Amino acid sequence: MFLVISAIFPYTTPMPKTTPKQKKVVEKVSKKTKGKHISVIGTGYVGLVSGACLAEIGHHVICVDRNKDKVEKLKKGISPIYEPGIEELIARNLKIKRLEFTTDLPDAVKRTEVVFIAVNTPPRPDGKADLSHVANAARQIAEVAEDYKVVVDKSTVPVQTGEKVLETLRSYNPHGIEFDVVSNPEFLREGSAVQDFLHPDRVVIGSENERAEKIMREIYAPIKAPFIATDINSAELIKHASNSFLATKISFANALAAICELTNANVEEVTYGMGLDKRIGPAFLKAGAGYGGSCFPKDVSAFVKIADEINYDFGILKAVEKINEDAKASFIKKIESALWIVKGKTIAVWGLSFKPNTDDMRSAPAVTVINHLRDEGAIIKAYDPQATEKAKQVLGEENISYEKSALDATKNADALVIVTDWEEFKKADLEKVHKSLHQPLVIDGRNMFDPKEMKEKGFNYISVGRTKK
């Protein structure tokens, strides 16, 4: 028996060592199911986390990637991404031979009964999801499959993609074998992806028959969470709907921040009062310099295009996108207004990744902010605990230096700009920061500090949606 799954993606608790109780659960489930033989095609955030976690819960997993250098590093237990807990899981499961890495896709497919296709679905210039990697993976699987397969889309894909995957599998298989297609969206947050996989809010499965559903239930048997079984189209929509709704909450908070600044109110007090309502909740209701990452910008844009193609004007999501861009522009205006003249100024930037506890630079607000400031003639001194190397690839090294510490970045800078709310920044010695800066100006895009305390420490402190009083 054979299963294929394609994965997505997109608050931060490091992955602890497996407890004796967890080990007993894994051993119990492994004895019951004997462990599935699984392939994971693609070793990005979702593919690598899914592969390592599936091995952790008792399955035998082969992760496939065409990047030879990446595969060689993974064989040595070196992760290509920064994700709390992932290297520990890789090392542990490599040692017990439940996890391996290869570039040989046909061999991996033939040796396994379950295959996760964890390939990227990046946005095209028009906003639609580029499904070429999914289509190519499905074709390669079809070409080597010799017996019954269950093919599961785990990537964030537009609704009705499952139909195209099934069509591809049937068209390119030379043996005329039977396929089942399943949708199994993931809800992994970068920075806490390991925990999110092992302790999810729910497991969503979309299938068209009990045979495929049974296999999926066996795979996820060790995961203690609600198991939601739906049709394929509904499962595909659940992922886009979930991410788009969370992005909507963030943009709503940013719209509130703009109103608070115009009315001399405090957005944090407003959102706190809102969040106590159980129907609303506090999660993702935080104003700032805009959202980024591999999921929200891509998924909102793709959902808008999905709606357009079925002649539905998803106006609320178009507004979400606009408000997010407005939030970045508003933050840049705060910097320009505070500095008066940007040209020739040295600006310290704390935070480069799109969120803390990851090194992901995709759609990071810091990229927009830094590029604009450099275009205006500023010199940037940047620091991030994990994203420096990836930032160099994205931002280059013209008019920007990458510092070894947060304090080094502030030395003789005309202002400190905070773009990512790493925990390290919250613990910074503000007295040393004050002395280090050429002038004690801080523009905080994540509202990390208390305005009253910053004023008492002698800072000219500017945040988002919290007017000076």
- Given 53, 63, 260, 295, the catalytic residue: 295
CA dist list (Å): 364 to 70, 174, 368: 24, 44, 7
Residue 121 covered by a domain: yes
Q: Residue ranges of the chain with pLDDT lower than 70?
A: 1-33, 468-469
Q: Can you state the angle between helices 132-144 and 161-172, rounded to 10 degrees?
A: 40
Residue 224 covered by a domain: yes
For residue 21, the model assigns a pLDDT of 47
For residue 118, the model assigns a pLDDT of 86
For residue 30, the model assigns a pLDDT of 47
Q: Does residue 145 contact residue 139 with C-beta atoms inside 8 Å?
A: no
Contacts of 452 (CB under 8 A, 6+ apart): none
| Alpha carbon distance 267, 280 (integer Å) | 16
Look up residue 275 and give its two tokens.
């969040």
Q: What is the CA radius of gyration of the chain?
A: 24
Structural domains of the chain, count: 2
The pLDDT tens digits of the residues spanning 329-378 come to 999 999 999 999 999 999 999 999 999 999 999 999 999 999 999 999 99
- Report the CATH number at residue 60: 3.40.50.720
Q: Of 230, 251, 278, which one is at a domain's C-terminal end?
A: 230
Could you give the strand order of the β-sheet that contains 2-7, starting from the edge strand earlier in sequence? 99-102, 60-64, 37-41, 114-117, 2-7, 149-154, 179-183, 203-206, 227-230
Helices (H), 193-314: 193-198, 210-219, 232-263, 267-275, 296-309
Is 295 one of the catalytic residues? yes
Residue 236 covered by a domain: no
Residue 259 covered by a domain: yes
Q: Are residues 22 and 142 in the same domain?
A: yes
| Alpha carbon distance 138, 154 (integer Å) | 12
Q: Are residues 247 and 154 in the same domain?
A: no
| Alpha carbon distance 122, 380 (integer Å) | 29
CA dist list (Å): 115 to 137, 199, 230, 368: 10, 22, 21, 38
Contacts of 305 (CB under 8 A, 6+ apart): 126, 127, 128, 129, 158
Residue 469 covered by a domain: no
Domain limits for position 346: 242-462
Structural element, H or E, at residue 331: helix 315-339
**DSSP string computed for 22-74:** HHHHHHHHHHHH---EEEEE--SHHHHHHHHHHHHTT-EEEEE-S-HHHHHHH
For residue 86, the model assigns a pLDDT of 95
Q: Are residues 355 and 443 in the same domain?
A: yes
Q: Of 199, 230, 261, which one is at a domain's C-terminal end?
A: 230
For residue 469, the model assigns a pLDDT of 56
For residue 114, the model assigns a pLDDT of 83
Q: Of 230, 254, 273, which one is at a domain's C-terminal end?
A: 230
Structural element, H or E, at residue 415: strand 415-418
